[in-house]
Chains A and B, each alone.
Chain A
Amino acid sequence: MSGQDTISERPGVGATGHWLLTQARELVENQKVVQVDAEASVEEACDALIEHGIQSVPLYDSKSHSYVGMFDVHDLAAYILARRGSVGGRTRSVSQSSDTGSPLARQAMEHLDGGRRGSRSDAVSRISDLSHLNPFYSVVPETTVAQVAQVFAKGAHRVAVMESERAIRGILSQARVVRFFFEHSDDATSGAEKLLLDASLESLRLVTRDVVTVSPDTPVLKALSLLESHRITSLPLVDAAGCLVGNLSLSDVKYLARERHMAASSCRELVQAARYWQGMRDGQDRAAIFSARPQATLRYVLAKLIATGAHRIWIVEPPAGAMHRESSGLTGSSDNGGARRASVSSASSQTVPVDLNRFAGEFGDTVCGVVSLTDILRLIVDAAPKPRADPEYNYASMD
């Protein structure tokens, strides 16, 4: 299968069908939709996110028997930023919170104050549309993955596959679509897409060296403002030398509902709390950093993202001028009879060529780019063959 310009009209995946023609319904089959009552508290909604390991949840209004919105970590972040001046549930008036400096936060404050005053805990439905960074997209079960992928390539993280106006068949996420692509990359993709998988991150122009970073001691609230103002969903934590030491995701914010006092803490402390809860829930701890070198292939990165469920991986490179230890593979040295390795000195002027077979980042590397699920979907959509113009495919309906 190579050099095709257009894809077969036959739906479904198989020896001759292209993966993009699969219908959304197939990717959400057997999904048990988690939902939260619209009148539940913010804490209860966050508990649902944590318990099910998800980033967003539809809110169901039992009175009108309909879905009234989605609550996700963007909304939660906006809510926390808006309340940053308040203590113990009391809200401050808008004029006092001008130190937030954020138009979104001020807007959010007004929105919150508009309803009531002094209640201890807000109902989650009241904050479910606080953030504008996460418009709610819905599709029908027959919508093709091609159409959904276009939306994802522009940054949406998920769409709701609606059975009817009042019933959600499932939530289709970027991660699910990327995994589907990867699983069928051998039998149901074009030559261009296969080439894409073997391209290096560098050749795909992902090494931008233009990444917003914070130090581990940066206050959480400052980090949240940065996430909002740059419209990004995570920040690498780097030490004084610029080395990557950790990662703060927007999704870590959901643990703030459990540990309210942490809103005043540093990024390092929030990340520690998030990993603590995560490891307990999973019964196993995770590596602290997911990273890859510029020469890593997209295939390598995809495999890692899919296995770990992460939404992005940092691209890292060894700091300039540092000496490197040979890769810890089979060095052929004799049985270690007391030879303690020489310590690595970053002040050394000697350089050793970097091992080009090494795809994983190492401790001491600095951040030079990022690969997110959005980036991957954008690349896939660009590489995939374009469907023939067909009156049946109504692309305008996506808006």
Chain B
Amino acid sequence: MKLDVDDCIERLYKGQVLEEWEIIQICARVEELFIDEPNIVHISAPVTVIGDVHGQFHDLLEIFAIGGRVPSTNYLFLGDYVDRGQHSVETISLLVSLKLRYPQRIHLLRGNHESRNITKTYGFYAECMHKYQTSMVWKAFTDLFDCLSLTVIIDDSIFCVHGGLSPSIVLVDQLRMLDRFGEIPHEGPLADLVWSDPHVGTEGFGRSPRGAGYTFGSQVVERFLHANRLSHILRAHQLCMEGFQVLFNDKLSTVWSAPNYCYRCGNVASLLQIDPYLKRDFITFDAAPDP
């Protein structure tokens, strides 16, 4: 069977799930793309940055309605595409299909939910089994997740990651040497990057209540930015009732893109538009009306 990516994308925009063979082929081809990407991907503004989506497919369509579709708008997604929402399959299928079709217009980072163990607990595995009756689709996606890059730097100035910083990574160059391919370990720099959280009042690094990664405070952020000649850290990973949060004297921002999280939190979500001059503009939005 010959893959028609444009047709797949069109069906996905309508909310249809793809056939199992289509997903497996798309994943195989996107895997090759991801493998070629370094641990730190360098991109340029303008770009629209999106935080956690967590399977809220109709809100993803809302994001494209507000921010513009790929390829007319460049996008950077910070991870956590699956779990918790009811349409993780459609969400990740659309995003990887868009990546295959427009590889330079959309970038995808790995979140802590792009992991076998987490997806077995928080819903993606169950949804795949329900929609496809076998675990092949889940396996194709989780194998693909193993290849996702971890960080992006926008115009040598804005550092983007899903969770946060690691005590093992003082200089960005250290990131280049990591072997990122494989399941996210319980500990170590790879785990830290996708699990850590900023915390006001923490001095240095502290143990995270999540059981993985660390908490880190303003001094850590300032030292990291200064040592690496960066201006700002962008991350996701934590629910923000107002859709976003800016901390540490505008040195770090959290973007959260799943409105009314789990269909009951009542929060607003945001997307972050970065213009060619690196000016940051949060646009907030509510949950899409029930289809």
Q: Do A and B form a real pair?
A: yes
Residues of A within 8 A of B (CB): 245-246, 271-272, 275-276, 279-280, 283-291, 303-304, 306-310, 325, 327-333, 335-336, 338, 340-341, 358-363
User: How far apart are the CA atoms of A333 and B179 in the complex, in Å?
Assistant: 7
The answer to whether B121 touches A246 (Cβ under 8 A) is: yes
User: How far apart are the CA atoms of A276 and B208 in the complex, in Å?
Assistant: 19
The answer to whether B122 touches A285 (Cβ under 8 A) is: yes
Q: B235 in the interface, Cβ–Cβ < 8 Å? A: no
For the side of the interface on B, what is the size category? Answer: 35 or more
A360-B187, A362-B185 known; A330+B177 contact, CB < 8 A: yes
A271: chain B residues within 8 A (beta carbon): 121
CB distance from A362 to the nearest CB of B (A): 6
A280-B262, A336-B179 known; A307+B112 contact, CB < 8 A: no
Which of these binds chain A: B63-71, B99-107, B209-217? B209-217
B212: chain A residues within 8 A (beta carbon): 286-287
**Contact partner, B35, options A283, A284, A338, Cβ 8 Å:** A338
CB distance from B222 to the nearest CB of A (A): 23
A308-B210, A363-B117 known; A330+B38 contact, CB < 8 A: no
Q: B218 in the interface, Cβ–Cβ < 8 Å? A: no
A271-B121, A272-B123, A331-B179 known; A289+B261 contact, CB < 8 A: no
The answer to whether B38 touches A329 (Cβ under 8 A) is: no
Number of A-B contacts (CB under 8 A): 122
The answer to whether B186 touches A291 (Cβ under 8 A) is: yes
A287-B210, A290-B211, A307-B207 known; A328+B197 contact, CB < 8 A: no
B211: chain A residues within 8 A (beta carbon): 286-287, 289-290, 304, 307-308, 310
**Contact partner, B38, options A335, A341, A358, Cβ 8 Å:** A335
B118: chain A residues within 8 A (beta carbon): 285, 288
8 pairs from A and B in contact (CB 8 Å cutoff): A245-B120, A276-B262, A280-B261, A284-B239, A304-B207, A308-B210, A332-B177, A360-B185
Most buried by B among A245, A284, A308, A336: A336
Q: B219 in the interface, Cβ–Cβ < 8 Å? A: no
The secondary-structure label for the interface of chain A is loop
The answer to whether A328 touches B188 (Cβ under 8 A) is: yes
Residues facing A in B169-217 (CB within 8 A) are 174, 176-183, 185-190, 195, 197, 206-212
The answer to whether A328 touches B210 (Cβ under 8 A) is: no
CB distance from A54 to the nearest CB of B (A): 15
CB distance from A244 to the nearest CB of B (A): 10
Most buried by A among B126, B182, B261: B182
A276: chain B residues within 8 A (beta carbon): 84, 122-123, 262
Extra contacts, 7 of them, besides A329-B188, A331-B177 (Cβ < 8 A), are A245-B117, A276-B123, A280-B262, A286-B212, A330-B174, A335-B177, A341-B181
Q: Which 6 A-B pairs have the closest CB atoms?
A: A307-B207, A283-B239, A360-B187, A287-B211, A287-B212, A360-B186
B123: chain A residues within 8 A (beta carbon): 272, 276
A275-B122, A287-B212 known; A336+B186 contact, CB < 8 A: no
The answer to whether B207 touches A328 (Cβ under 8 A) is: no
**Contact partner, B186, options A283, A330, A361, Cβ 8 Å:** A361
CB distance from B105 to the nearest CB of A (A): 22
The answer to whether B35 touches A340 (Cβ under 8 A) is: yes
Please give me the residue from chain A that is nearest to B206 by CB atom.
A307
**Contact partner, A280, options B174, B187, B264, Cβ 8 Å:** B264
A361: chain B residues within 8 A (beta carbon): 186
The answer to whether A363 touches B177 (Cβ under 8 A) is: no
